A and B are shown apart, each in its own frame.
Chain A
Amino acid sequence: MPGLDTPLSRGDSLVHRLDPRARLLGFLVFSLPVALVQSQAPALLGLALAALLLLLSRPAPGLFLRRLAAVNLFTAFLWVFVPLSAPGQALFHLGPLAYTREGAALALLLTLKINAAFLAVTALVASIAPPELGCALQALGLPEKLCHLLLMTHRYLFVIQREYQRLFTAARARGFVPRTSGHTYRTFAWLLGMLLVKSWDRAERVHQAMLCRGFTGRFYCLTDLRCRAADVLFVAASLASAAAMVLAERLA
């Protein structure tokens, strides 16, 4: 069963050795200017810095490229639709529609920013194992309910998926073939309804089992979060990169 593994979190690079809290803070500080800048120079700078981070975190190339392709499938749509709808000087015409220079520039800016954010999140957040992520977010003061949601969603997504497959297999074993018909829609509605009820029941049982072991709402972590000089240095470097992007924005 795929999914439960988070292969990118199991590395031993410089980035992986940073305190997860430092990585999260660094990402937060870095992602704000990436999201807000309006010109290409700071976006390009952000992309270069994120690429450097990614090299340092050494992800498995195949996996990383597959994810990169998935993200850029989305940006490909931007390249089609934004230049066709933005007003400005036409580069060429597609029937009645003009493909504009301004629109293309906007698509380029968005592509740079999306990829910078994606590379940074891959290097800094995907490199944190889920339980550590929960602890680090909790340590950074995120509400406990959100941390629980995150950890439990990760843990049970695949249980629910397996449950769905079991129900679906059982339906097929009795000769069910999905078609475009009322019977198919009704069957899927029942299947999803049953999945919801079962997940609800299971959530209740899991919660009861946790109460029986003295759960009071707070998760404790076995791993020690330790903040060292390298972590402080890293957060400082993130702040400096963010400042550089802001400066480049001002100059542009």
Chain B
Amino acid sequence: MSAPLIEVQGLVCGYPGREPVLQGLDLTLLPGQKAGLVGPNGSGKTTLLFAIMGLLTPRAGEIRLFGKPMQGPADFAQARLGLGFLFQHADDQLFSPTVLDDVAFGPLNQGLSRQEARKRAEETLDMLGLRDLAQRTPYRLSGGEQKLVALATILAMRPQALILDEPTTGLDVETKARIVTLLNGLDLAVLAVSHEPDFLGRITTSLFSLRQGRLHESRAAAHAHLHVHAEGDLPHSHDD
């Protein structure tokens, strides 16, 4: 089995002046694995994703991305180029004057030339069937269109894993179905957080719940590659 993309061990994380929401959480995501995560409001789902992306500094615990221990902002900056993070609210993610500019933003940051970035952005929009939106202002799009464009902006970076924070919030059935089809057509690892187990069931192969600051396997899933240990120190193996 290949090395994990994401490895989190004993993560303790929270906000100042409050009991930490994550209390020694362990998580492993392997290449190509699709894991879903459910939990009540305030249980720390978004906190976990932000910690993985290096947007929050944990109080304790270790995060390894692509096999490399994350020791500071420079490590995270490098690792982020391979992780596509979809924010809960698409309008936080889209800021450029046109959709095309926004989709090309990531590839340009990755060091692609203008021509390459433009080509990459156009290919990605084509793949998602959003070609007609290229010259529109993201700010003026409908909620569903914004979400699809936000997805395009991270897919254009050709990430190895997608990290999705509530990807279906406020979307209609049709857009949800489009996202399901799209995600299932991609050969990428996925870590998705959602309130909708039904949606998670359609895009992931294993389901976990976040309670009392730790992960619990929700049901006996055939592909339980995302491991949680209530005790944290139990021996485990990824070989079977």
Contact = CB atoms under 8 A, between A and B. Distances in A.
Interface of A: 4, 129-131, 152, 155-156, 158-159, 202, 205-206, 208-216, 220-222, 224
Given A155-B139, A156-B95, A222-B108, 5 more contacts: A158-B139, A159-B91, A208-B87, A222-B114, A224-B114
Contact of A222 (B53, B117, B157): B117
A213 B109 contact: yes
Contacts of B208: none
B81 A129 contact: no
A155 B207 CA distance: 39
Nearest to B56: A208
Contact of A212 (B53, B98, B108): B53
User: Chain B's interface: helix, strand, loop or mixed, by majority?
Assistant: helix
B92 A205 contact: yes
A166 B50 CA distance: 28
A215 B157 CA distance: 12
26 contacts: A4-B139, A131-B96, A131-B97, A155-B97, A158-B139, A159-B91, A209-B95, A210-B105, A211-B55, A211-B77, A212-B55, A212-B83, A213-B80, A213-B105, A213-B109, A214-B77, A214-B80, A216-B77, A216-B109, A220-B105, A220-B108, A220-B114, A221-B114, A222-B101, A222-B108, A222-B114
B24 interface: no
Nearest to A134: B97
Contact of A4 (B81, B93, B137): B137
Interface residues of B, number: 34
Contacts of A224: 114
A221 B140 CA distance: 21
Q: By CB atoms of chain B within 10 A, which of A131, A158, A206, A209 has the most? A: A209
Interface of B: 50, 53, 55, 77, 80-81, 83, 85, 87, 89, 91-93, 95-98, 100-101, 104-106, 108-110, 114, 117-118, 137, 139-140, 153-154, 157
Contact of A213 (B98, B100, B157): B157
Contacts of A4: 137, 139-140
A222 B89 contact: no
Contacts, number: 79
A12 B58 CA distance: 53
A174 B100 CA distance: 41
Contacts of A206: 92-93, 95
A205 B87 contact: yes
Contacts of A214: 77, 80-81, 106, 109-110, 157
B76 to A, nearest CB: 8
A130 B98 CA distance: 11
**For the complex of A and B, 5 pairs with smallest distance between CB atoms:** A214-B109, A220-B108, A213-B106, A205-B92, A209-B93
Contact of B97 (A129, A159, A202): A129
Contacts of A202: 92
Contacts of B154: 212-213
A50 B240 CA distance: 77
Contact of B153 (A129, A159, A213): A213
Contact of A215 (B85, B101, B109, B137): B109
A131 B95 contact: no
B69 to A, nearest CB: 19
Given A131-B101, A205-B92, A222 B139 contact: no
